[in-house]
Structure 1
Amino acid sequence: MTLTRIALSLFFFSVLLISCKESPAKKTTNITETRVEPDTLSKPDALPTPEVEEEEPFKLTEENAIDFFFNYSKTLKEDKVKLTTSFGSIVIQLFDNVPYHKANFIYLTEQGYFNNTYFHRVVKNFIIQGGNADNLETAKKRGQIGRYLLPPDAKKGHKHHRGIVSMPSSEVNNPHKLASPYEFFIVVTKPGSYHLDGSYTPFGKVIEGMDVVDKINQQPVDNGDWPSKNIYILKAEVIK
């Protein structure tokens, strides 16, 4: 073998080695995303919220009214209520020996029932009657307080003298003349309207503001004894 052939052989062998050598692999970097979870160990395990049953609001009914007012009357120390009307103020002193009717009147006063009601019936030289109104507010208050009647208590020695505050009877299916608890009337007649004795329950008397009662009684009315203009009981409050 000549030197030339030997040289050529070595050249081709070198080329073969170079071509067979692996190219370096391309370096890649795999980035793993790390998700940060809330640190549950730093807080106590959340306790389930206990279910609280909402109590239904208390309402007076035929079944519970007597017991309620019997117990309520034992808590009362006050016996006077002030009515602020659109014609002035009237102060009423309540009788202790008619506890259900006294308690009823104070309870309704404390509930704000009489506020923005009317003296809705005015009979000349006889009575003025209050505690009702033809508005949604009054109807809503009655619905919230409850539906009930009170038994008459007309044998406690109180007569329907002028200035006496008494409770009318309900006119609906009421052969026993049970008292309509949301309304009251004040006697204007001099010296009184004694034909009412025994049928209705006197539970208080006007001690201030009889001149206001007379002024209300003088207001013009329509054929149904409803005043031509509303006569408001703006506010009723228990005198402490």
Structure 2
Amino acid sequence: MPYHFVSSLLFLFLTSILPLSQPVKVEVVTNYGTMIIQLYDETPLHRDNFIKLVKNGTYDSLQFHRIIKNFMVQAGDIRSKHATLTDTLGGSDLGYRIPAEIVPQHFHKKGALGAARTNNPERASSSTQFYIVQGRVMNDSLLNHNENRINQFLASHYAVNDPENKPLLDSLDAARVAKDSILVKELTSKWTLRSKEYSKFERYQLPEAHREVYKSIGGSPHLDQNYTLFGEVISGLEVIDALATVPTNQRDRPTTEVRIISMKILP
């Protein structure tokens, strides 16, 4: 019997008795309840970074420093572990960024786990800061409106990365450095119009399957295709609702302590 035939039979036998690898699940214990998050294998850079941070205990005792009801809850500022309720948070992480991994089939339904980021041209993610979507239930009219918002974000992204627009952006940066307020205002107006009218990209349409989910459990669709999603809550959606009801100040900072007690990788 040929060797390659024996090897094939052995492979088929082993795959029939050995379990396939399962998506990684993370238990998130908060002072408002426990959630189970499943990480996406399609975003390996974000998945592996999150696993590393969970195993290192980076998230243990951090606060949810930004909460917006009917939108999302955000955590991961490493300064929040020892911060008071009056400290300004949201600007700290571990100092590196993760390249964007924006996957078309991932969308901002309720429970989606996303990577926070600055407004950088690469859409690279914060090393530690993340958000979990609460959102709200949508109808077709709202979804159409959000589809337009998605494409506005995409137009801005592609415009800022278009080499043809570099001279204008360089001039705007130079005017800001020179503190020439009149020129800054003029160039900003010109850039706003150019990015709004930018059309050299394929416009995004919300898939019907995504629309149905948004119309049933809700979410925040305007962020689709612009932020990396790398997991979702598969147990404990009610905890998100509990977190979202916490009173906040004008900066969306909770006025009472909302804390991650611990995170761990489930076997």
Summarize deviations over 1:108-163 as a string: whole Å, max 9, x none.
0001000010111001110001112545769xxxxxx9531011111341011111
Counterpart in the other structure of 2:231: 204
Q: 1:198 Cα deviation (Å)?
A: 1.2
SS of residue matched to 1:117: coil
Picking from 126, 129, 132, the partner of 1:183 is 129
Cα displacement (A) at 1:88: 0.9
Match of 2:202 in 1: none
Which of 104, 125, 129 lines up with 2:70 in the alignment?
A: 125
Structure 1 gap segments, 5+ residues each: 1-75, 139-144
Report the structure number with the largest CA radius of gyration: 1
Equivalent residues in 2 for 1:50-61 (5 A)?
Answer: none
Cα deviation for residue 177 of structure 1 reads: 2.1
Range that drifts further, 207-216 or 162-171:
162-171
Q: Whose RCO is larger (CA < 8 A, sep 6+)?
A: 2
Residues 82 and 89, structure 1, Cα contact 8 Å, conserved in 2: yes
Q: Which residue of 1 aligns with 2:100?
A: 152
Matching residue of 2:264: 237
Length-normalised TM-score, structure 2? 0.55
The 5 A counterparts of 1:1-240 are 79-135=24-80, 147-170=95-118, 174-190=120-136, 191-240=218-267
CA deviation vs aligned residue, 1:65-114 (integer Å, no higher than 9, x gap)? xxxxxxxxxxx966011111011101100111110111111110001000
Q: Point out the structure with the larger helix share.
A: 2
1: CA distance between counterparts of 2:78 and 2:41? 28
Q: Secondary structure at the match of 2:229?
A: strand
Runs of 4 or more consecutive aligned structure 1 residues displaced over 6 Å after TM superposition = none
Distance in 2 (alpha carbons) for counterparts of 1:189 and 1:137:
29
- Structure 1 distance, partners of 2:128, 2:257, is 18
Tell which deviates more after alignment, 90-99 or 148-157: 148-157
Structure-1-length-normalised TM-score: 0.61
How many residues end up aligned between the 2 structures?
A: 157
- Other structure's SS at 2:46 match: helix
